[in-house]
Amino acid sequence: MAYNIYLADRAPQGSEIPSDVRQSTLTTLQTWFTEISNMAINGMSSPPFSGGACVIRINSPPSIQPFELLIFFVLNPRYSIVNHLPHSGHNRRTAAGFTGWNDQFTCSEVYIDHGIQTLAQVAFHEAMHNKTHYGDRALHSRDGLAQSATPGASPSDNNEQLMAQFLTNQRPQWLAGFNY
């Protein structure tokens, strides 16, 4: 089994991500996470997945392992899913995306209206918050995609190492987010 990253496009009808952008976002994340997942299991005696990554577009709650990732794509903060996560005291928001968590669950979202040219970059940024539970101060002081997203940018070596280090942390994703 590969490491699965689920992308849930929750944009209202008529405001969906254009299909070519959706595909390139998926392909870009697939490339990055394949490399990172292989880094992550390198040296692990019993990795919880066999290697490689699989980025999958979904419309309903997936069958997801507690160490895997789910990223929602919503139109803008008015449609926030993370805002509904109960007791998410430690949450982080930028204009581009938002990640929150409580004692049980973690939830990340990317705002489509912020710019469709940086969806992969923002998704990766939120994925770093999601897996590390680093707040803004701890994450944004780093380089690469820990900072504001620019079109065409890739994770830095430091970003990849950080993500690889935390990739198999247990961060159950908030599947009840599909109700919003």
Residues that bind Zn ion (CB under 5 A): 94
Q: Report the residue number, 18 or 89, with the smaller CB distance to Zn ion.
A: 89
Using alpha carbons, select from 164, 169, 131, 170 the residue that is nearest to residue 39. 164
Using alpha carbons, select from 86, 81, 87 the residue that is nearest to residue 126. 81
Q: Report the residue number, 94 or 161, with the smaller CB distance to Zn ion.
A: 94
Pair of tokens at residue 106: 């973690």
In the complex, minimum distance from the CB of residue 136 to Zn ion, in angstroms, rounded to a whole number: 5
Query: CB nearest Zn ion: which residue?
Result: 94
In the complex, minimum distance from the CB of residue 171 to Zn ion, in angstroms, rounded to a whole number: 16
Q: Report the residue number, 70 or 122, with the smaller CB distance to Zn ion.
A: 122
In the complex, minimum distance from the CB of residue 146 to Zn ion, in angstroms, rounded to a whole number: 7
Q: What angle do CA 57, 138, 162 make, to 5 degrees?
A: 55
Contact (CB, 8 A) for 84 and 98: no
